[in-house]
Amino acid sequence: MESLVNLLLRDSALFQGLGYGLTAALVMFVCGFIVVNFFGLMAGVYIFLERKVAGWTNSRRGPNRVGPYGLIQFVADGVKLLLKEDVIPDQADRPFFRFAPYPVLLGTVLSFVVAPFGPKLIIGDLNLGLFYLLATGSFTVIGLIMAGWASHNKWSLLGGMRSAAQIVSYEIPNALAFLLVVLTAGTMSVQGIIGAQAGGIGRWFVFSSPFAFAAFFIYFISAVAEINRIPFDIPEAESELVSGYNVEYSAMRFAMFFAAEFGNIYVVSAAAVTCFLGGWQVPLTGGPEDLAGLGRAVGQFLAWPVLQVALLIGALACFFLTWRAGRGFALDLKRKLPRFTDRLVRVNSELGLLALLFGGTGLILALHWPLRPYLAGIYAFLFVYLVPFLVFFIKAMAVSFVILWWRWTLPRLRVDQLMGVAWKYLIPIGFFCLLGQAVWLILFRSPGTAG
């Protein structure tokens, strides 16, 4: 199916005459740029969300002073980590110490290549999509072992070894769950799997059979273990190993471990949503064609004169709210500005944010008037590309909210119990589900359905 890489290479009117090498390099650069930026953004969002959710589950508010509602907190964290002193222990193994964060980071960033956002919104639709996800997941292990060894610290070594053992053993239930999905869908390509779940909530793989339902939980548990989150975070447990394999790391190197962990939360929840929860399939529609039709219908509906008037009134209301919020923000700014050198000054930036939001909405509503004739086309485009994107995001955020939630609910598993869960419970049940799903498909899937 389509993907960004194909898009760039096909519409190569830009690239004609540039030759193969240069074209390839440009495409790689663009895709890499998008991937790394998105990863950074996601890591930042999760850092912020984690602290907010942590606060809420502890009956307190998370960070809310740094920007409007604390949204710029992750920027502040990043800047702080950048400015810290980079300490390398005296007896540490320098080349390995320096190199160790990079495989960990790579493992995460590379997985974004197959992260699907919409019908054609994917960087590269490999036909080995799920297998690629598994492979990049194991990339992290070598980095962790290097980090544990190179720190020249018994506790880091212990943490690194345990982490490696944990990740390697939890890859098996992970793979078993993926195998089940591949069996049901018939393809390893990510877009293919999502395509096989088209047609409403009932077609999601998680509901296709009780075995798949169990496999969803098996996948979820093994994914949480893969990314070293509670209840499986012995390698980085604060009270037991003083942060395990990354204890000797400071500043930017630590930031890389940190960001990789949070980016991994996104990758893992995106994979769960893709495989089991229907990916970007919007619940009540059957696929991109349905969405396009819906979009056109909505566009034509909105071009109706009565609704145009209603939209204009809405735009006016938004502008009024913008004015009120903006005025409040500006008054506040004026009052505080002379004291701007005061370290504790805090402007009511939420009002500024609200002003921006209302202004944007007002602008969008107002634009409906001049764009009357094109509304059908615009809405078709939006419905085909934007709505699945939002749906995917909401689903992935819901799954990752559960991962963040678990952190504050469950105590840690001891290392041998952790391994016990993997080898004694998840793997046998995983095999059982796989066989059960195969039997189920033979019995209940009519031949010739979704290849």
Partner 1 sequence: MGYLSNIYEAVSTVAVGMWITFKTAVAERKITIQYPSFDIEAGRLKDGDPAVAKSTGFFELVMGNNQDYRGPLRPRVAERYRGLLGYDEAKCIGCLLCARTCPIDVITVEGVKLEGRQGKAPVVFRVNYAKCMFCGLYVEACPTQAVFFTHHFEAAAFRFPDLVRDFIDPELGRQRLAQAEEAKKSKAKEEGEGQS
Partner 2 sequence: MARFLDYFEPRLRQFNRLISRNKIFKERLWGLAVISPELAVNYALVGPNLRASGIDWDLRRDEPYSVYPELNFEVPVGRPECGVVGDCYNRYWLRIREMEQSARLVRQCLEKMPEGPYWNKSKKKLKPPAGEVYVRTEAPRGELGFYLISRGEERPYRLKIRTGSFSAMSIVGKMASGLMVADMVALISSLDVIAPEIDR
**Do residues 235 and 365 touch, judged by C-beta distance below 8 A?**
no
Q: Which of 392, 382, 329 is nearest to 356 (CA)?
A: 329
Please answer whether residues 388 and 282 qualify as being in contact, where contact means their C-beta atoms are separated by less than 8 angstroms: yes
Under the binding rule (CB under 8 A), the answer on residue 60 touching partner 2 is: no
431 binds partner 1 (CB under 8 A): no
Q: b/e map of 184-200 (b: 16 or more CB within 10 Å)?
A: bbebbbbbbbbbbbbbe
**The two three-digit tokens of residue 139, written as one number:** 């990339």
The answer to whether residues 99 and 146 touch, using CB atoms and an 8 Å cutoff, is yes
Q: Yes or no: say if 162 and 232 are a contact pair by the CB < 8 Å rule.
A: no
- Residue from 92, 110, 302, 354 binding partner 1 (CB under 8 A): 354
Q: Which does 415 bind (CB under 5 to 8 A by kind): partner 1, partner 2, none?
A: partner 2
23: left (phi over 0), alpha (psi -120 to 50) or beta: alpha
**140-169 residues near partner 2, rule: CB under 8 A:** 158
* Closer of 158 and 292 to partner 2 (Cβ): 158
**Does 416 engage in binding with partner 2 (CB under 8 A)?**
yes
Task: Note whether 422 and 222 are within 8 A (CB).
Answer: yes
Q: Per rule CB under 8 A, is residue 409 in the interface with partner 2?
A: yes
Asked if 102 is part of the footprint of partner 1 (rule: CB under 8 A), the reply reads no
- Total residues belonging to the chain: 451
Q: Cβ(265)–Cβ(46) under 8 Å?
A: yes
Q: By CB under 8 A, name the one of 415, 422, 426, 433 that touches partner 2.
A: 415
Q: What does 336 bind: partner 1, partner 2, none (CB cut-off 5 to 8 Å by kind)?
A: partner 1
- Within 356-415, the residues that bind partner 1 by CB under 8 A are 405-406, 408-410
For residue 426, the 8-state DSSP code is I
Asked if 58 interacts with partner 1 (CB under 8 A), we say yes
How many C-beta neighbours within 10 Å does residue 344 have? 6
Binding residue (CB under 8 A) for partner 1 from 4, 53, 194, 234: 53
Residue 172 C-beta: closest distance to partner 2, Å: 21
For residue 354, what are the CA distances in angstroms to 5, 319, 323, 324, 345?
37, 11, 10, 10, 20
Q: Which does 377 bind (CB under 5 to 8 A by kind): partner 1, partner 2, none?
A: none
Q: Is 351 in the site for partner 1 (CB under 8 A)?
A: yes
C-beta of 260 vs 415, nearer to partner 2: 415
Interface residue with partner 1, options 152, 203, 324, 412 (CB under 8 A): 324
Cβ of residue 351: shortest distance to partner 1, in angstroms? Answer: 7
Give 62 or 160: the residue with its C-beta nearer to partner 1: 62
Distances 10 to 1, 3, 23, 197, 311 between C-alpha atoms, Å:
13, 10, 11, 28, 39
With contacts defined by CB under 8 A, name the span among 19-27, 115-123, 203-211, 404-412 that binds partner 2: 404-412
Rounded Cα distance, 428 and 251, in Å:
42
Question: How far apart are alpha carbons 147 and 98 in whole angstroms?
Answer: 9
Residue 61 binds which entry of partner 2, partner 1, none, CB below 5-8 Å type-dependent: partner 1
Using the contact rule CB under 8 A, the part of the chain among 43-51, 232-240, 310-318, 344-352 near partner 1 is 344-352
What residue ranges bind partner 1 (CB under 8 A)?
53, 55-61, 64-65, 69, 324-325, 327-328, 331-332, 335-336, 344, 346-348, 350-351, 354, 405-406, 408-410, 425
What residue ranges bind partner 2 (CB under 8 A)?
158, 231, 234, 237, 239-241, 409-417
